[in-house]
Amino acid sequence: MLLIGYIGRKDLNCHSLGANKALLEFKGFVDVGEVAGKTDEELSPWSIEENKMFQQQDLCVLKGETVSAVHLDSETCEVYLFENVL
């Protein structure tokens, strides 16, 4: 299965473990090693509100709650609903 969109992985302390090519390019990085160990604030210091949202979602996932996100593929105009559970 091909996952579209910006995909990142974090450890239990909310530090980045990796990202797909789309997320790396969006954040301005080339290599996964550049994001490893960094927090959302370190990766996107200009996105304060977005970082708060990501932190709230991370806490929900760590509690075992479902987090839903809607993704629009701008090339195909398809809409996807992603639900994440730890």
pLDDT number for residue 71: 65
pLDDT number for residue 49: 86
Hey, CA dihedral for 11, 15, 17, 20, is it positive or negative?
positive
pLDDT number for residue 67: 77
What stretches in the chain show pLDDT beneath 50?
86
CA-CA distance, 58 to 84, in Å (whole number)?
A: 10
CA-CA distance, 21 to 8, in Å (whole number)?
A: 10
CA-CA distance, 9 to 17, in Å (whole number)?
A: 5
Among residues 36, 65, 40, 42, which one has the least CA distance to residue 54? 40
Whole-prediction pTM value? 0.66
pLDDT number for residue 32: 92
pLDDT number for residue 72: 64
CA-CA distance, 34 to 36, in Å (whole number)?
A: 6
